[in-house]
Amino acid sequence: MDKTPPPRGEPLAVTHPPPSSIPEKFDKELNQTADAYHEARALLESAQRIFFLGFGYHRSNMKRLQVAAYEGQIGGGTSVGLGLSDRQAIEVNGKVRLFSSNPLSKDLNSLDFLKNLVEIR
């Protein structure tokens, strides 16, 4: 395929995939995403304790994973880089206790979190 740009003043030729291929690709991606969330929820349901390490707590992921439904199983999570208002919303709405060494100091990273706050049975 020739990648040289067209001479100035000439319109650029843009090719699009045939319309029939777009829905098929989109459906496939949706099904893969739905399968991944279904598998993740099954793992959460079977877990005795759940800890979130390096999880962004994006609202749509929290909703899709139905995180609040596992309130009794959630041991907590890291919160590196999250502001106070985001932490409060996650703790209240998502039912996840977020840990830091001190609310006003640097957040714990995943390794420090595991070393200092999680009792391994």
Cα–Cα dist 68/41, whole Å: 12
Asked if residue 8 has pLDDT above 80, the reply is no
Cα–Cα dist 93/95, whole Å: 6
Q: Mean pLDDT of all residues in the chain? A: 78
Query: Residue 119: what pLDDT?
Result: 76
Cα–Cα dist 108/98, whole Å: 10
Lowest-confidence region among 19-28, 30-39, 72-81, 109-118: 19-28
Query: Residue 90: what pLDDT?
Result: 92
Query: Residue 10: what pLDDT?
Result: 56
pLDDT digits (tens, 9 = 90+) for 66-95: 999 998 899 888 888 888 899 899 999 989
pLDDT over 70 percentage in the chain: 66
Counting Cα atoms < 13 Å in the Cβ hemisphere of 21 gives: 3
Cβ-Cβ contacts under 8 Å for 109 (sequence gap 6 or more):
78, 80
